């Protein structure tokens, strides 16, 4: 098959490209390289299996790349939830308007399949935990979550209106090699500057589910093609959770730093739009036959080691 991956030079996108190439597919990557990196695709560029189109979905120069494509994987996004409270207009452009433009170009090019990476934040502060895909009402508390939900709605509408088929993946916290944001990176960078004191946003008791990026990609590929409804929605995550404080302890252990004191900013939220408690139900995935190979703490430790090995600053 020929796959087009928007945001394919980014964190999750580049791991997806790795897996698609390994499975023998041809891949076209459309990425503005604002947050993505050519280095993430270095092993593929020049091989003939991957072609990089440096373009923004809000601009031009990428539309003709849809010719002959069998499936689009739409990962292009601004993943910084905290930033969405500072610049909401950019979130709307990056997620909602860009998604609508992509869907309309797919319609014109007769590309009928799209897989979209959404987020657990569409559920807001769910009262049912683990949270299933059928949970309602959807009340996102961040602009990021609201924009992701709006993009989901557009994909559903286009799927039903124009004979498309879509897979929507609602992610827990995805971590691992090539990570570009998130709590683990935040802790590593803070400890590089001050190895004696670590600031932790909130009270440290926030508990959330974490999954290795390669496990996430495995789940994405497993689902696509196995379900045939116009819209197929799946949570992807681990079956447990971990506190922010425990993540801090793991990072300190892996950096081999003695006598680090934790300083909390206070409150149950780390920032505006932060959900203090999150775990997704993956029962729908398990019914198809997929289960995660590791839990949250194991994934956090492995991701910390990988990022330290990469020499993040």
Angular region, 90: left φ>0, alpha ψ -120 to 50, beta rest: alpha
State the catalytic residue, choosing from 144, 158, 169, 210. Answer: 144
Q: CA 166 to CA 177: how far, in whole Å?
A: 28
Q: What is the CA radius of gyration of the chain?
A: 19
Q: Which residues contact 90 (CB under 8 A, 6 or more apart)?
A: 78, 83
Active site residue 144: yes
Q: Are 3 and 26 within 8 A, CB to CB?
A: yes
Q: CA 179 to CA 233: how far, in whole Å?
A: 25
Active site residues: 144
């Amino acid at each position: 098959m020929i796959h087009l991956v928007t945001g394919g030079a980014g964190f999750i996108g580049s791991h997806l490209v790795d897996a698609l190439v390994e499975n023998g597919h041809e891949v076209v990557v459309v990425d503005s390289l604002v947050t993505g990196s050519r280095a993430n695709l270095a092993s593929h560029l020049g091989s003939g299996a991957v072609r990089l189109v440096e373009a923004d979905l809000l601009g031009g120069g990428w539309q003709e790349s849809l010719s002959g494509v069998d499936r689009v994987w739409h990962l292009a996004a601004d993943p910084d939830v905290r930033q969405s409270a500072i610049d909401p207009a950019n979130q709307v452009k990056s997620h909602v308007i860009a998604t609508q433009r992509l869907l309309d170009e797919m319609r014109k090019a007769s590309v009928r399949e799209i897989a979209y990476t959404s987020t657990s934040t569409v559920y807001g502060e769910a009262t049912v935990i683990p949270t299933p895909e059928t949970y309602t009402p959807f009340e996102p508390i961040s602009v990021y979550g609201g924009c992701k939900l709006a993009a989901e709605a557009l994909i559903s509408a286009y799927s039903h209106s124009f004979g498309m088929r879509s897979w929507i993946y609602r992610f827990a916290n995805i971590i691992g090699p090539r990570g570009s944001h998130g709590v683990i990176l935040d802790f590593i960078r803070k400890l590089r500057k001050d190895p004696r004191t670590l600031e932790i946003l909130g009270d440290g008791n926030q508990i959330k589910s974490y999954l290795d990026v390669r496990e996430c990609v495995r789940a994405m590929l497993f689902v696509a093609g196995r379900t045939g409804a116009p819209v197929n929605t799946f949570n992807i995550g681990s079956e447990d959770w971990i506190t922010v404080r425990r993540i801090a302890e793991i990072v300190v252990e892996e950096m081999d730093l003695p006598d680090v004191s934790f300083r909390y900013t206070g409150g149950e939220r780390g920032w505006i739009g932060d959900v203090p408690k999150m775990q997704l139900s993956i029962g729908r995935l398990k019914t198809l036959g997929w289960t995660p190979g590791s839990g949250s703490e194991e994934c956090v430790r492995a991701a910390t080691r990988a990022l330290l090995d990469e020499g993040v600053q």
